[in-house]
Structure 1
């Protein structure tokens, strides 16, 4: 019998392994070639549809950005001096120009209490009351915390929720001693810090403080003759500004709705020179035309990217030489692509209904080129934005707007359960079928190989048997009486 791997049959001398392998390969080759062609074609189409779907998804996002009425309601706001104030506006703001003067910013209260010998010197026990506007902080001063250090810590522990805090400032020269400095986080006139006390022992009244009245809110300079006296570091006060000559006070440096929909954030007050006649700073509120222009050009870029992707997926590249076969891209002649492009071009050329200034994209300065791409005429686009901005939103957005109509053309292809998803699912099934057929082919060829080896081995055994019988008969005949062998003559 034949021994697989040694090559030659024992009885026949034939290379059975090679013969069987050749027969199996010959049987397998047509089906293998068919499956390879089907797999290559299906994989190429699957990849091409994936690229097409990805490009559609990106284009769809741009359509949604432009099909947003809020885009056309946005407002821009600018300050003539951003170091004095900044400004922002929401959709409720009306376009316009305003004159602003900033006389002073809103301030918080900060005071330095009377100086004492040192931060650890004992002052006294009792109750300390710290007030800032409508906020009051009661601090119990006991023998354990009857120094500036202890009182500072007690105020900070109790004042976390009220915004009142304390620090200690030391005068290294010793002339000013150690001072408890109190601060409040609340802005606005009438929120100055005051301190009162009730002593149980010692004299907590050295920390009592009532801010002196003021008309200009300027902190008084320290008195060199009385360095230990308490003093105001800053008064709490409202911000004061004038908008178009109308004076406005605000407890905050962020002024909202003095102009509807506009928030002004004060950064610093103008100097005396700034506040002379005609020193007002311009505040401008306008439509966000730059944002709309950017979104429109993004739409054009996305459309051109989509058509470029489609072109690369459907082109045929000639190969040199008379016998050269042209190279066809993955989706050459694909019906889905042709149908999509046709529907998009039809929609772009369909005029909008109504009597508005915009009927087609060309009215916006966007034209179709010979290769199917779109081009923007900046001059015409600028004129459209400047002259008919109020009508642009109606042309592009809404149920009947151009973007919604284009979205309606894209959705059947790119949407869940759409044409492309169905096709890619079918192609996945085809690839799975190819894998199944390859497995069946392997099993069939294994059975064929086993059958052929069995048949050839049986033939080889029969040849070996016949060869033995032949040798026996030849020997027997040679030994018969009267038989003369030819080689013995």
Structure 2
């Protein structure tokens, strides 16, 4: 009997169709796994969106959750073109009069006009030019002139010295190949004044350096001079800190004879902005939860649980100080569940006792912001509720993948078995059909038998 190379050819059975139908039934568990995978993936995505919403809410809450974060101060100047002011940590509050008599300057010196081909030194091995910055002899730069150098070469030696203590050299080119060497301290003030000296056969008179600053030879005049509330002070920098506790001011222009006012106060406007932002973040967070109710988390009680926990925090009075409820600072929950801010009430509370407002939010044990931030940690922290749910779903997807691989391997075995079985059946049916055809042919060739009927 010939071998059947293609199932169904011998018998006429649609073996491939039969096997495909059977395998479709066998693959139904895979389809169910895929449906579950899509459900889990959608839930993970929804949890991710919820975690992002919680993170945004917590970020706003955290800005109110520490007392130091609410110790916000502002400094204002009556003439910011002359002096700018910045309040830093725990400044002295009040108004201060300031007069700027002089700005701090960088010390500048210029040589006389010298031909660009003229050289200096080269007469003795000890020939050198020394530039000291400030009063410390350790801050001295030495230009080796044992080999004669032009002004340009001296400039390069100064600027490229790895131990340069804080001086920059430039060349100014004039007419008829004349040049001047300009020396300038990198920082302002008398502490950075330049002092020149020489050794060997070098003569300073050959350079004839002159100070460009209008200080009359008195390097102390390189310091800024200003008066605060009648107290005259000097500073090597135009940025001054420490004169008023917690305050830094920048001297921008001298204005002799005119006093300007620096005012340092609590920045209630910025605290108000933080409270307004808190209310906005709460409403955005609540909207994000509501959006999930019609999505993949529609049957998940976690949304209701989160809402109830937040509501519990907001409704429980704080024992942090004279203020105990959010309504006392103008925050209230409306009928639709949103949070509103009464700016008039908030501003009145800030003007009356900003420290009490700060404690209402930021008290470490019982402030509203502190409690809400801790609550958010319980949702999205490493072992938080939402994080754990997400981790659990990812593990279930991994388990589905393992089951899918196992099922697919088994399906290969099942399909191989089906093909073997139906190939055998196909061959058997084909054999029966051949036998049937043979018998039919043989019977057709038998002589016909006639019978006589008696009348």
Same fold? TM cut 0.5: yes
Alpha carbons of 1:173 and 1:60: their partners in 2 closer, same or farther (altered >3 Å)? Answer: same
Partner SS, residue 66 of structure 1: coil
**What residue is the counterpart of 1:256 in the other structure?**
241
Partner SS, residue 67 of structure 1: coil
Q: Structure 2, unaligned stretches of length 5 or more?
A: none
Q: Residues 87-126 of structure 1: matches in 2 within 5 Å?
A: 87-113=85-111, 115=112, 118-121=115-118
Q: Distance in 2 between matches of 1:5 and 1:345?
A: 71
Among 269, 282, 285, the alignment partner of 2:264 is: 285
Contact 1:105-1:268 within 8 A present in 2 as well: yes
Q: Residues 138-153 of structure 1: matches in 2 within 5 Å?
A: 144-145=147-148
Q: Residues 229-378 of structure 1: matches in 2 within 5 Å?
A: 236-270=221-255, 275=257, 279-315=258-294, 329-353=295-319, 355-356=321-322, 358-378=323-343
Alpha carbons of 1:82 and 1:462: their partners in 2 closer, same or farther (altered >3 Å)? Answer: same
Matched pairs, number: 443
**What residue is the counterpart of 1:227 in the other structure?**
none
Return the offset for 1:372: 2.1
Return the offset for 1:160: 6.0
Partner SS, residue 249 of structure 1: strand
Alpha carbons of 1:2 and 1:413: their partners in 2 closer, same or farther (altered >3 Å)? Answer: farther
Alpha carbons of 1:465 and 1:363: their partners in 2 closer, same or farther (altered >3 Å)? Answer: same
Q: Distance in 1 between matches of 2:417 and 2:179?
A: 108
Bigger drift between 16-25 and 182-191 goes to 182-191
Return the offset for 1:67: 1.0
Q: Distance in 1 between matches of 2:30 and 2:160?
A: 83
Return the offset for 1:482: 6.0
Among 391, 395, 405, the alignment partner of 2:360 is: 395
Per-residue CA deviation, residues 153-193 of structure 1 (Å, 9 max, x unaligned), is 6666779634345555566389xx76555444464459765
Alpha carbons of 1:141 and 1:475: their partners in 2 closer, same or farther (altered >3 Å)? Answer: closer
RMSD: 3.9
Alpha carbons of 1:182 and 1:307: their partners in 2 closer, same or farther (altered >3 Å)? Answer: closer
Matched, 1:422 2:391: no
**What residue is the counterpart of 1:223 in the other structure?**
none
Alpha carbons of 1:411 and 1:189: their partners in 2 closer, same or farther (altered >3 Å)? Answer: closer
**What residue is the counterpart of 1:404 in the other structure?**
370
Taking structure 1 as the reference length, the TM-score comes to: 0.76
Q: Residues 42-53 of structure 1: matches in 2 within 5 Å?
A: 42-53=40-51
Return the offset for 1:421: 2.7
Contact 2:135-2:191 within 8 A present in 1 as well: no
Contact 1:187-1:251 within 8 A present in 2 as well: yes
Contact 1:144-1:150 within 8 A present in 2 as well: no
Contact 1:219-1:234 within 8 A present in 2 as well: yes
Matched, 1:466 2:426: no
Taking structure 2 as the reference length, the TM-score comes to: 0.81
Q: Structure 1, unaligned stretches of length 5 or more?
A: 212-216, 221-231, 316-328
